[in-house]
């Protein structure tokens, strides 16, 4: 195989990889992509670093093409400049794949099973690094594409990284069976290869039949999708109209146990927001409803702190019977804060987007607490309920924590696991309007579904223009609204109790296995430094 043909195959393999994810959903294509990538490393290890880099370029060129919409349509960057910035971003993201090839070239050996183990470990290191390195961009993990497959049963046990691992084990098994068959080694060595190919799916099916959590009550929710025009959403003369639109949409739904407005549904802040906040609090108490909305929160600073007079946070706030608030921790680079701000601010309009100078919330925050009626089958105890005084009447209600993930941070599995530990339901509010009719919002929705599956919690997703949806504790879509329409999704959700194994342990088991795999490969390489 020539260098050009190998790199061309790597590019095509990377470019088809995103077809395994929403909205396409061809998970087998993502597996085929990984299979071709692995075979290229095996057949041309001397080209491994370049193959990995080109694979990553194709993967992200197609998979995160939706960034262009933000830059061009909402950031006012001309097409050429927007395209150049997207290409720069794609190159940076491709660099995450480059170490797969670099270290495979150093660690590969004559033992193809060991080579497969090295490939799986390096791929998983790449995905894990995307959750924290340079603030992280945890997108397009192989495990996300598996959410509608038999491998989904792995996620509540060991998380999305382990789900990726199971898919990769199957890929390596298929590749080794093919290689051994072609090389005429059709004896005992084929049996382990066949086992690797089939066993992950058998385990996934068996785990899918296990119930890790139980429902303790069912409640109604109204998710308000305002469909605000992003180009004028923050204009001063539109801010009051934004609130009125949400109030009008909510008018018939104040009888729901929970009413949710999306991220930055309220674009007023400080003193300007007082009337809206008072209305939501009063209306929520009067109708015995929990209300949660996305709203900017202003924190005034002492005069001594330089020229900046206040901090602004992207928050979800509870009103009515709901108590507490949550300030977004994982901010979007360039969208919510500008790295190297002194150099980039004002360079192009994109770096001056509304609310692009937000303050990061603290890592440790309390969950928002809902007050919900006791379930019909539940006997109230002092530890489970609180007694509220509403309109002069005593009423016992359950206190239920809700784990909040604002927009982009739903992609951070470990953060959401921490927040969901004591919560009975997960709520994510978002504004994917930035990505228009691209594939981005669908990928984002699929990631949110994985958080429900990992933690065994129903997930409620309220967005400005889609995808607004209700997801059950098995990660399945129960109902959703069409995109780009002003509407309300009225439905029911269950509060869950109990914890999944992943909720209890997190990613440590799979990370330990990755470390053991790489140490084993290094030791084997030292014993036999030159591959046969």
Instruction: Give the span between the Cα atoms of 383 and 374, in whole angstroms.
Output: 13
For residue 325, give both structure tokens.
């608030």
| Extents of the domains making up the chain | 3-211+507-527, 214-499
Q: What was the pLDDT predicted at 532?
A: 39
Which of these is catalytic: 127, 328, 336, 409? 328
Residues 6+ apart with CB under 8 A from 365: 326, 327, 329
> What DSSP string runs through 389-450?
EETTEEEEEEEEEEEEEEGGGGG-HHHHHHHHTT-SEEEEEE-GGGGTTSSHHHHHHHHHHH
- Residue 440 in contact with residue 66, Cβ under 8 Å? yes
The CATH superfamily of 214-499 is Carbon-nitrogen hydrolase (3.60.110.10)
Whether 525 is a known active-site residue: answer no
- Residue 139 in contact with residue 130, Cβ under 8 Å? yes
Q: What was the pLDDT predicted at 392?
A: 45
Q: What was the pLDDT predicted at 307?
A: 62
Residues lower than pLDDT 50 in the chain = 340-345, 379-384, 390-392, 532
For residue 210, give both structure tokens.
């296990």
Which of these is catalytic: 97, 288, 359, 407? 407
Whether 485 is a known active-site residue: answer no
54 burial level (CB within 10 Å; 0-12, 13-18, 19+): buried
Q: How many CB atoms lie within 10 A of CB 234?
A: 16
Q: What was the pLDDT predicted at 190?
A: 75
Q: What was the pLDDT predicted at 180?
A: 79
Q: What was the pLDDT predicted at 387?
A: 54
Q: What was the pLDDT predicted at 338?
A: 57
Cis, bond preceding 467 (omega within 30 deg of 0) = yes
Q: Tokens 């087998």 sit at which residue?
A: 28
Instruction: Give the span between the Cα atoms of 485 and 249, in whole angstroms.
Output: 12
Q: What was the pLDDT predicted at 524?
A: 87
Q: What was the pLDDT predicted at 466?
A: 87
Which of these is catalytic: 263, 336, 409, 454? 263
Q: How many CB atoms lie within 10 A of CB 406?
A: 25
Q: What was the pLDDT predicted at 33?
A: 98
Whether 409 is a known active-site residue: answer no
């Amino acid at each position: 195989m020539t260098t050009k043909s190998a790199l061309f195959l790597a590019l095509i393999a990377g470019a088809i990889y995103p077809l395994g994810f929403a909205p396409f959903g061809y998970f087998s294509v993502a597996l085929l992509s990984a299979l071709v990538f692995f075979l290229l490393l095996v057949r041309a290890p001397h080209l491994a670093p370049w193959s990995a880099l080109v694979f990553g370029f194709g993967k992200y060129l197609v998979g995160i093409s939706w960034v262009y919409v933000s830059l061009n349509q909402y950031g006012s960057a001309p097409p050429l400049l927007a395209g150049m910035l997207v290409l720069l971003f794609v190159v940076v993201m491709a660099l995450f794949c480059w170490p797969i090839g670099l270290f495979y070239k150093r660690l590969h050996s004559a033992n193809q099973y060991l080579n497969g183990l090295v490939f799986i470990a390096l791929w998983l290191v790449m995905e894990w690094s995307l959750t924290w390195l340079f603030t992280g961009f945890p997108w397009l993990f192989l495990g996300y594409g598996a959410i509608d497959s038999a491998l989904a049963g792995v996620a509540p046990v060991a998380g999305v990284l382990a789900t990726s691992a199971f898919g990769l084990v199957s890929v390596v098994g298929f590749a080794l069976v093919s290689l051994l068959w072609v090389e005429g080694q059709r004896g005992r060595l084929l049996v382990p290869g066949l086992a690797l190919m089939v066993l992950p799916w058998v385990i996934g099916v068996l785990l899918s039949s296990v119930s890790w959590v139980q429902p303790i009550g069912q409640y109604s929710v109204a998710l308000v999708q305002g469909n605000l025009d992003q180009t004028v959403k923050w204009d001063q003369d539109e801010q009051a109209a934004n609130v009125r639109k949400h109030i009008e949409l909510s008018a018939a739904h104040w009888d729901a146990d929970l009413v949710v407005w999306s991220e930055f549904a309220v674009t007023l802040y400080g003193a300007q927001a007082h009337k809206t906040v008072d209305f939501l609090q009063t209306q929520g108490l009067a109708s015995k409803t929990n209300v949660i909305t996305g709203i900017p929160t202003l924190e005034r600073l002492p005069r001594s702190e330089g020229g900046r007079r206040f901090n602004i946070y992207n928050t979800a706030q509870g009103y009515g019977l709901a108590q507490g608030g949550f300030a977004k921790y994982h901010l979007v680079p360039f969208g919510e804060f500008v790295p190297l701000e002194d150099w980039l601010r004002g360079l192009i309009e994109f770096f001056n987007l509304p609310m692009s100078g937000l303050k990061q919330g603290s890592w440790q925050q309390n969950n928002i607490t809902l007050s919900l009626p006791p379930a019909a089958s539940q006997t109230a105890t002092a530890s489970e309920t609180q007694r509220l005084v509403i309109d002069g009447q005593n009423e016992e209600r359950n206190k239920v924590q809700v784990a909040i993930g604002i927009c982009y941070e739903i992609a951070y599995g470990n953060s959401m696991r921490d927040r969901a530990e004591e919560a009975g339901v997960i709520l994510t509010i978002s504004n994917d309007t930035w990505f228009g009719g691209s594939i981005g919002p669908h990928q984002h929705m699929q990631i949110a579904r994985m958080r429900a599956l990992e933690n065994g919690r129903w997930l409620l997703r309220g967005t400005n223009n889609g995808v607004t949806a209700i997801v059950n504790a098995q990660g399945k879509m129960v109902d959703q609204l069409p995109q780009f329409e002003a509407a309300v999704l009225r439905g029911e959700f269950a509060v869950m109790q109990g914890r999944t194994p992943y909720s209890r342990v997190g990613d440590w088991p799979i990370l330990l296995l990755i470390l053991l795999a790489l140490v084993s490969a290094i030791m084997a390489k030292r014993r036999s430094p030159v591959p046969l």
